[in-house]
Amino acid sequence: MDSVVSEGVTEGATTPAFVPAQPSSGRDAVAFEPQEELQAWQTDRTRAPIATKIVVAGGFGVGKTTLVTAVSEIQPLQTEALMTQASEETDDLTATPDKTTTTVAMDFGRITLDDDLVLYLFGTPGQQRFWFMWDDLVRGAIGAVVLADTRRLPDCFPALDYFESCGLPYVVAVNHFDGSDEFAAADVREALTVPPHIPVLIMDARQRISVVETLLALVGHALDATPE
């Protein structure tokens, strides 16, 4: 059914006016409601939001999908596949015995941090056989969050080495799992030999506020590292 969207926006309105076309087949016209409330910058044609790209990386099963899901204001795109016996020798489930799916391409989500600042989140796959995708996923990103699990810190070394070599600003976020030992950020920094200028944070990938604080820390660090 054809429809027409009005050219203007009523002053003070939060959503653009929508005018359904007259039905041509005798059926009643249907009024469509927007799926989410629009932000101020979405109705002001003189303002354009600053869209930035963030990469979330780390080892297998460290919580990348959980982080993107917890904070995304849209239905996140996930490429989860069931784990099979074929990966038993390569995917170590010792620390995550209840894990039944894994990311085979990427996770994608979006969060609006300010009226005109939008972050697009891209979660990378953690297994070595998918590392070839990283070059494409990080293209155009302003920074990265490297998730770490204190039960298996060496799993995040490939991500740390990758972002160090390509010069992309990053922060280290320690995702504490239930039942794992808690360590101070200074202890994790020393164990991973993270340089002093790189923020190291303790967070919970399941908690939206905790994730938002981590993303804000990354944005601030990226601005300090590349102010232009």
| 60-99 residue pLDDT tens | 788 888 899 899 998 877 655 555 555 555 555 555 555 5
155/153 Cα distance (integer angstroms): 5
217/197 Cα distance (integer angstroms): 12
By C-alpha distance, which of 140, 156, 206 is closest to 176? 206
Higher per-residue confidence, 150 vs 27: 150
> For the chain, which domains are there?
1-38 (no CATH), 50-225 (3.40.50.300)
Query: Do 157 and 58 meet the contact criterion of CB atoms below 8 Å apart?
Result: no
Query: Do 101 and 160 meet the contact criterion of CB atoms below 8 Å apart?
Result: no
pTM: 0.67
Owner of token pair 């999908």: 65
Pairing of the two strands 117-123 and 101-114: antiparallel
Q: What is the pLDDT of residues 96-135, one digit of tens each?
A: 555 555 554 568 888 987 777 888 999 887 666 666 777 8
In whole numbers, what is the pLDDT of the chain averaged over residues?
Answer: 75
Residue 146: its H or E element: strand 143-148
